Copies of this chain bind each other. A is one copy, B any other.
């Protein structure tokens, strides 16, 4: 069959983390992709289905070490590593001409100073910052389609930016002081043996964390400023919830003049008319369960009863639209597949 000859070869570095595993699940079913290698560090030599028995009878992949000899024949390499690690491996891959999609925060800013301020580590590959395209296809599809290197957005920023992008075109909304309250499931914190992540500590409670200084704040701000064409001031308050997956974001902005919900709704529908993975809900607020295990971002708008505020709610699966699914959406654009292929 012709299809087989068209398959691109891809590898995942960091395949055993939570985002990496979701990426494996998607790529194993993607008709245009051969998942050729899964790369790890402490897990080298282990079968993936031994680390995650859900893969039994699904794949025989074995975790391999990072080897450029192997990787240089890949069409696309995904870096599903923590920040600080990705910038060590991306340059070599890029220099070899491979397309790279990076899940970390390492290449989401243009300024190394900004990175260093918020991530608190020196940036070791500043020359590559300019090569990276911010991989939010709903806003930057053309750039992504023609690039070699994608900085895949953070999970919180994806939900916040998609919720807010249309608002800067609405002259009746005040956007000078924006507060974003977001809630995330625990998988967003990664697969780490930390005491404050154990079930007994997380279950049946909620906490805000990194209040006013979370590293996703400048990412949201920078991208929104590109969209708005002006400075954007915002506070971002993340919360940890006792659920495994999903992000929920709530934003309220003062109205300069009364409007109806229908007016705002129409503006959002228009803004996202061609977006395959954004769904504007007309009749209800979104719920995490509507989007989990999908690549959709669901958004609703409301105007409060006094017509003084517009309220925007959005939700995504943090591991799919907030990580692995969005990465595949970017890969599809870069490799010439339909944007929705395999998603």
Contact = CB atoms under 8 A, between A and B. Distances in A.
Interface of A: 18, 50, 53-54, 56-57, 174, 177, 179, 181, 183, 185-187, 189, 191-195, 197-209, 211-213, 217, 233, 235, 237, 239, 241-246, 248, 250, 252, 254, 276, 279, 281, 283-294, 296, 298, 300, 302-306, 308-309, 311, 313, 315
A14 B310 CA distance: 38
Given A199-B244, A200-B186, A290 B208 contact: no
A233 B258 CA distance: 14
A243 B244 CA distance: 12
Contact of A243 (B187, B191, B205): B205
Nearest to A54: B290
B198 A203 contact: no
How many copies of this chain are found per oligomer?
A: 4
B305 A208 contact: no
Given A53-B290, A54-B291, A302-B211, A198 B179 contact: no
Contact of A212 (B56, B237, B309): B309
A245 B111 CA distance: 44
A193 B191 contact: no
Contacts of A195: 191-193
B205 A289 contact: yes
B217 A198 contact: no
Given A186-B198, A198-B198, A302-B211, A206 B311 contact: no
